[in-house]
Amino acid sequence: MNKVKKWLSNIVTIILFMILIVMLYVVISSKLSGGEPQAFGYELKTVLSGSMEPGIKTGSIIAVKPGGDMTRFTKGDVITFRSEDNVIVTHRITDVLKEGDQISYKTKGDNNKSGDLNSVPSYKVLAEYNGFTIPFLGYFADYTKSKMGGALLLIIPGLLLLAYSGISIWKAISQLEKKSKNSLGVDDTKNLGVDDTK
């Protein structure tokens, strides 16, 4: 039973430590890049509209791959682009338009009844979406961009880790005290036995 408790204790400590490291990374990378956090060559974007539901839920975080040849996309691909209103949008390509050397895309949100009004020139495409999404985490990620949210993101896991470490240390000290009391009791009995024999 004690081995199981110790094993679970170690797992909880590792998980809390990993959460702290990930949150530190998210905050620092987003502050350094001046925008969305990045990981392994992917950018993490927050989805705050339901235009791509049910595939991409409102409030999700999606990973998109920036860079490369932005004229490579075909019908059915999902791209992230900057719209005419300077808003970042992730929609599906419904048609590829070629005018000489220029390529642009007709796009539509999966949940929208009609396609987007303006076609998207390839130079306005920012990244490609490959299907990785985490539902509902976007609300939290969006909140962390505020000063208060960023501070809480660093403070809360740190406090949890500190509290858990304190509890672990207190338990270890209690067990050591118990063992020392028990060993003293056993030693005294043995000594008394030896003295009586003599």
- Tokens 């490579």 belong to 72
CA distance 57 to 144: 19
Helix intervals (H) in 34-115? none
Number of Cβ within 10 Å of residue 182's Cβ equals 10
CA distance 138 to 63: 11
Residue 29 C-beta-side C-alpha neighbours within 13 Å: 16
Q: Is 49 a catalytic residue?
A: yes
Give me the catalytic one of 9, 30, 33, 49: 49
Eight-state DSSP code of residue 130: E
CA distances from residue 96 to 26, 56, 102, 106, 108 in whole angstroms, order as listed: 35, 23, 11, 6, 12
Strand partners, 106: 95
Q: Is 70 exposed, middle or buried (0-12, 13-18, 19+ CB in 10 A)?
A: buried
Bond from prior residue into 66 cis (ω within 30 degrees of 0) = no
Mind telling me the catalytic residues? 49
